[in-house]
Amino acid sequence: MFIRKIIIAVIAVLLSTLVGVKAQESPVLSKGSLPLVLESLVGNRGGFFEVVINKKFESVPKLGLFSVSNLVAEFDKKDFDDVMSQGYLTYNVVRGLDIMGGYFYTDVTGLRASAALSYTKANAEYTFNINPRIDLQSNPIQETALFVEYKPVIDTNWKYYYRLQGLYGFTPDNGDHARSYIKLRAGVTYKEVDFGLASNFDWYGPDKDNYNNIGVFVSARLY
C-alpha cells in the first residue's frame, strides 16, 4: 500500500515539474527568474514531496507566478492525510517585497481565496524569507511562514547546506491553533542538488496533534 502511495506521489510531483518546465520555456516568463525546486524526503513517518515554482514575466518583470505544492505519503495509512497546494499572482512593490493574491488548498480546509506578503533578502550564501498570508473569506486561517537557508562555500562545486523552515497558523476568530511545523535540513550542495539529513515536525488542529518525520532528503533546482 505504501509503495502504491509513493508511486502516486511521484507521478503528482512529475506532473507539477512538467508544468513548471513548460512555464520556464515559455517566452512570456523571464529566464532570469528563480529556478523550479523539487524536494523529496524519506523518513520514519513516510515520504514527503514538494514542488516550488517562482517565476517572473519577461514583459512585465514586476509581475510573477508563485506556487507551492506538497504532500505526505505515510507508511501505515491508506490515504494522503496532508496535501497542500497554493498559487499566487505576485507583484513586486519594492526590492524584496511582493504582494500576492491567489488560492490556498488543503484536504481539510478545501479551496480558499488567499492574500499574502513575501519579503526576501538574499545573497550568494544565505536566503531569508518571511511570508504571512490569510484566507479571504469567513472563518479565515492566518499563517506566517519563515524560511532561512545558509550555503557556505567549500569549493567550486560543493557547499555546506543548512535550512530552517517554520510555520504557525491559527484562526483569528477564536485563536485556535490550525497548523504549524518546523522543518530542518543539514547536508551538502553539489551544483544544483542538495542532500543530507532532514526532519519535519508537524502539528495539526486545535489539539496540536504531533507527527514527526526524520530521515534523508534530496532537492534539485531546475533552471
Q: What phi, psi does 122 have (nearest 5°)?
A: -150, 155
Q: Kindly report the pTM of this predicted structure.
A: 0.84
Question: Alpha-carbon distance 51 to 223, whole Å?
Answer: 14
Does residue 150 register a pLDDT over 70?
yes
Q: What's the fold here for domain 2-222?
A: Porin (2.40.160)
Instruction: State the Rg of the chain over Cα.
Output: 17
What residues does each domain of the chain span? 2-222
Tell me the CA distances in angstroms from 146 to 14, 60, 80, 213, one per residue in order: 26, 28, 25, 19
Three-state secondary structure call for residue 159: strand
Question: Alpha-carbon distance 25 to 84, whole Å?
Answer: 26
C-alpha cell at 217: 532528503
- Give residues with Cβ within 8 angstroms of 104, minimum separation 6: 85, 86, 111, 112, 113, 114, 133, 135
Residues 64-112 have pLDDT tens digits of 999 999 988 888 776 656 889 999 999 999 999 999 999 999 988 889 9
For residue 12, name the pLDDT band (cuts at 50, 70, 90): very low
Kindly state the percentage of the chain with pLDDT values over 70.
Answer: 83
